[in-house]
Amino acid sequence: MSEETHRESEAAFDDVDWHAMELEAVFERHDADPDGLSSEEAAARLETHGANQIEAEEGVSPLRIFLEQYTSVLIWLLIVAAAVMAFVGHTLDAGVILGIVVFITIFGFVQDYRAEQSIAALREMSTPDALARRDGTRTEIDARTVVPGDIVYVESGDIVPTDGRIVESSNLRVNESALTGESVGVSKSPGTVAADAALAERDNVVYKDTIVERGSATVLVVETGPETEIGRIATGLASAEERDTPFQAEMDSLGTLIGIGVVVVVGIIAVAELLIGDTAPLTVFLTAVGIAVSAVPEGLPAVVTLSLALGARRMAGKNALVRRLPIVEALGSVDVICTDKTGTLTEEEMTVQRLYANGERYDVTGTGYDVDGEFRRDDEPVDRERIAELLRCGMLCNNVEIGKRENRESDAIQREENGRSDAEGDRVFLGDPTEIALFVAARKAGFDRDELEETYPRIGEVDFTSERKRMTTLHRTPDGGTVAYMKGAPETVIERCDRELVDGEVTELTEERRGELHAKTEAFAEDALRVLGFAYLPDAPEEANESIEEGMVFLGLQGMLDPPRPEVPEAIEGCLAAGINVVMITGDNAVTARAIGEEIGLRSATVVTGPELEEMSDDELATRVEDVDIFARTAPEHKTRILKTLQAGGHTVAMTGDGVNDAPAVKNADVGVAMGIRGTDVTEQASDIVLLDDNFATIRDAVHEGRRIFDNVRKFVNYLLSGNGGEVTMIFTGSMMGFGLVITPIQILWINVVTDGIPALTIGVDPASEDVMERPPRPPGEGVITDRIVTSIVGIAIFMTVTILPLFYLHRDDIALAQTMVFTSFVVFEIVRIQAIRWRYDLGIFSNQWLVFAVVIALSLQLLVLYTPLGILFGVTPLGVEHWLQIGAAVSVFVVLMAAFVKVQDVYFEKY
């Protein structure tokens, strides 16, 4: 089928609100009926609509990763420099440069390839089989052949093969976390919902690749393949363009600028010497080569790559896996973090936090699925017997199972975070998160489910449904009688009670008391607690049906919440102090989102819902987005729209995501962050960074690391370019003054690669300055090389020329000695230059032991060149004590000039 035919076939279904239409109208629109399609009709529709599958993005091949290492302009400048050196017969110099190129490319390839290998392969998006009604009978078919108008059947454990309207259902609950990001299952049933209902609220529709947790349903297929909700997300992901970080663009621009500069300077010298002076053409050519070599910062690509790789490795040690090296630097400029709520800001483990029984409120300590905790009233421990019946009801009227967790690395991370032993970590609760919370609350009171079930064996159950909003179980009592336990929506439970258990006595449930219970329920809900009511019926009938759900005894309420991770408030505070705004984007309701926002310390806890967002124009959203830090009830497209609005406003945005719905926003973000534990492979493939612990605090740590790395990149760029600038300035000035070549190309290479390169590598591991997370993010347009860096490079180059060139002049009668003085002076000056650059960051000389070691190594290597036979290769002469004293005097003058220059810089840039 052609793409054009496919577009035409889908045109009739564009932007149809299937959830808002009457079911009969949906059948009519698809020319379908409850008996399903014939095989012939299904085949025709398959030809028209195409296969029910989503094309997965292919991974990056090793060859492509390797070739991408050669996209940098600086790499090609080095290759050209090596070719020029080989052409003029300097094969040793050419070999050294090519060796550097090989090192850089292999190092970058290994790092990028390992990152790709660390991400799990993209899983097949569609289920292989589906149960459909074809030719009037239930038939198992290839899920790829499902077409609009088909009738399909799903039951507990199935992966939904396509989007469809529910025709019939029985106790259906679906986990839509892959689509909405919310882990709590959603009850589904036939009916209609409002046209403007958020995706998470369309409870009459099931979606492709979601999982049936419980129950069964008959479904009318409305969309297939790329037209499903997940298919549209995948299409948006494919259309997202790969982005270069500002740092990548700046490095390429720097390479271009250096290349142009070399041509201009060489041209000036060639014209001056050949037309005006009397220098031999070969000497002019060698001078030009010397300038070209001195201008190219051979060590810069290696230092940048190594620094980013070391930063990436350090971040991996803090549970952040970097998939693209340049993104490490981009983290330092992030000024907005858009984050999910569930599992990132919260534990993703529903926890009972509050009880109401005996007319009293009780607080429950402990978080998540840890069974350690206690019950308190007015901060005083409470005897469990006060609340025993309420908790017993929660454990018996419950379908949670206890299983054993497969031993995985992510589980080890969670066990370590939660302080659990290995034995505890191996246990896993299987079932609805709400029921798990009730189960854990009863365990905190010492109840054992096996003992309870032995004492009160279950003999029947009236299932929960979305229409009934309650569940009741029937149990045999120790004396041979029966007792029924109910849990459900508080208003539903209260409606079926005429008595209440208070302090062990059964009392009448008056209308006034009912009003108080409803008020207490509302108070719990206003605190963003999910509230359930509980009741029991002693001496219940022997049969489990709705007749046992009348005239019950009310036991109380349990309020639960997915609590914030304990480390998140401090992480939020740290981000805000660093000038980084945090925006929560969740599919949860506004009340819960606001409560979590207030608890974790978001800026204003101002909430905008998905439907409200849809009513806003782009201009209105651009205004509101600056002040809103919570978006609730959002759909997949909302996340991308929020992202693009923030980016259009000049923000550098990090976006977190886990579900398939998050993938387009994650890929389009300046820094895309995927969740490693609960994230989907699609989102991980779209991301720049994968959080191995799904923890927001890890994002804060990553930003800290990004800022440290950027500072270090800025330091060694300043260091290397100021050295290269000094070399170019000195060669140019010496040439113009008729001195000839004041330093040879191989001596320049030695300085650039060894005596400058080794210390520059260790600058990459400089510690962070104390104020790294106290200053605001750098402006989006501010690159590595600022006006201050430029003036610093120019100033250092001029002062080095002014202080070192006289040494050449002093020994001009002995060219070898004069060149040796210049050569050695450059090496000695590196110590002063390094500390002058680091001083602005309040870093002492010994704050980086690797740097001290590198300087010692560089000086030792220089001494080997001067006083061993190696000197023959470099054309140097051993220096005497008087020569070292002259170099020391030049260094002293340079220090004085630099001290004065830095003060002038401070005054000027503080003013302007």
Residues with active-site annotation: 340
Identity of residue 27:
F
User: Given the DSSP bridges, would you call strands 671-675 and 653-657 parallel, antiparallel or unpaired?
Assistant: parallel
Q: How far is it, in rounded angstroms, from Cα 93 to Cα 90?
A: 6
Q: How far apart are CA 790 and CA 204, in angstroms?
A: 63
Structure tokens at 730: 């000195």
Q: Which of 627, 579, 575 is nearest to 601 (CA)?
A: 575
How far CA 596 is from CA of 172, 319, 561, 591, 631, in Å, comes to 29, 24, 9, 9, 12
CA–CA gap between residue 309 and residue 304 (Å, rounded) = 8
Residue-by-residue DSSP string for 396-423: HS---EEEE----HHHHHHHHHHT--HH
Cα–Cα distance measured from residue 466 to residue 188, given in angstroms and rounded to the nearest whole number: 7
**Measured CA distances, 791 to 262, 805, 832, 841, 909 (Å):** 19, 21, 17, 17, 11
**For residue 386, what are the contacts with CB-CB under 8 A and spacing of at least 6?**
357, 358, 360, 362, 375
Length of the chain in terms of residues written: 912
Strand 401-404, strand 427-430: pairing: antiparallel
The residues near 474 (Cβ < 8 Å, ≥ 6 apart) are 458, 459, 460, 461, 462, 482, 483, 484, 540, 544, 548
- CA separation for the pair 904, 912 (Å, rounded): 12
d(CA 355, CA 337): 35
**Strand 505-508 relative to strand 320-322: parallel, antiparallel, unpaired?**
unpaired
CA dihedral 619, 624, 629, 630 (to 10 degrees): -80
Q: Which two tokens stand for residue 500?
A: 């209440």
DSSP state letter for 549: G
Chain-centroid distance, C-alpha 423: 31
Strand partners, 168: 218
Q: Check: CB of residue 338 under 8 Å from CB of residue 654.
A: yes
Instruction: Output the CA torsion sign for 374, 377, 383, 384.
Output: negative
Query: Coil, strand or helix: which one is 586?
Result: coil
Asked if 169 and 221 touch (Cβ cutoff 8 Å), the reply is: no
CA 189 to chain centre: 35
d(CA 261, CA 83): 19
Is residue 193 within 8 Å of 149, Cβ to Cβ? no
